[in-house]
Structure 1
């Protein structure tokens, strides 16, 4: 391994959904390795986020973009003309069987699946200039049923399929597209499990590694996929779940 394979100094990274949770962990993973990191989130300004929700925007360039709205993505100004890595980590979920209704289904699919394509298309010219890479963050829920959350599971399965198709389509142009599929990670979206002792105990029993994942665990996988170490990896989704899906 070359000494600088995971040095991103002089590189520019955009993490969509990087304001908290997994995306925030990935953003800081790149930042600590020298990258100039931009983040898209839903709130008006960086100070609107709460550290208690796993949000740390220090050292990151923040921009508000509601990726659930295709027009907002199209209109979003870019402060750069080249991009080395695009991380698509946006995601939402509706509990209490809300995804079985039209409003819940449409919102989850718009954010978790449709926006992946809209963001990737928008950034493609900049990625092409840099011969960059795209990392699509899906979930192990994309490989199985997800009780009570049909839109979440379907959108994540779609994200895994989109990773394959874009990987095939864009590789000839020098853009690598890959993905990672987290298992149970301690974020604000998983509080329905992490804040319920009985659910948490059951979940941990099912994870061979014996613990939940951390945003930093996902950052390691993303850094690998964006680095020269993964130069011949294309269209693949790396499962990062502590063995939960086994």
Structure 2
């Protein structure tokens, strides 16, 4: 059973935000394990993400923070085995203290997550499928410059636990990944600041940042039979920075 646990041949995986960053790392891992991978991004086409690998994936433009867009979204699939909610955003320079920006971040990070979960829940019931939500270590600590980001990520973790409780009786497992600092576009502001970057390395026992592919490995585990009795959990992947 476990020898083939990471073989996703014949499975369909939908990944929001799969066109870049952590989402793309997760998408590539599922693709390389044989899955049919459907990804979304906010740009018009996969070609607009030249720095990422979207080969052999079906791309759809989607802003998960737009209710009408999510309602109209039709990826043209007849089954769904795994839903990964990786779409996310953040606003720096204390912009999240402005209500318009606060709402925008919340709409993408938590409202979009919930909308995608409820939209595709019936399909996941049919396959006894799995949901993997990408939240953050900000789920359980403050981020003074980014109140919407930390609030939405904390909400993502408790939403994960609530949906796991509500939907487990129908065979749908719901878990979360809580990344620390991973080298992506969203963390570039820290990576490009030598003082902040060196401080982050010093407080991380593994003395480095994570990679999108490492988050993909966790997603594979959470969606596979290897974690068949795991639901409502959040796996912290931060190199030990918060131990």
- TM tier, smaller: over 0.9
What is the TM-score normalised by the length of structure 1?
Answer: 0.97
How big is the shift at 1:15?
0.5
Residue 73 of structure 2 is matched in structure 1 by: 76
Matches within 5 A, 1:97-246: 97-246=94-243
Residue 8 of structure 1 is matched in structure 2 by: 8
Long gaps (5+) in structure 2? none
CA distance in 1, matches of 2:123, 2:2: 26
Residue 42 of structure 2 is matched in structure 1 by: 42
How big is the shift at 1:49?
1.4
- The reply on whether 1:85 has 2:100 as its aligned counterpart is no
Runs of 4+ in 1 over 4 A off after TM superposition: none
CA distance in 2, matches of 1:146, 1:118: 25
- The reply on whether 1:96 has 2:74 as its aligned counterpart is no
Contact preservation (8 Å) 2:143, 2:150: yes
Aligned length: 243
SS at match of 1:3: helix
CA shift digits 1:53-110 (9 cap, x unpaired): xx21111110001111011001011211210000000100000100000111000000
For residue 59 of structure 1, the aligned residue among 48, 53, 56 is 56
Long gaps (5+) in structure 1? none
What is the TM-score normalised by the length of structure 2?
Answer: 0.98
Cα-Cα RMSD = 0.8
CA shift digits 1:166-189 (9 cap, x unpaired): 000000001000111000000000
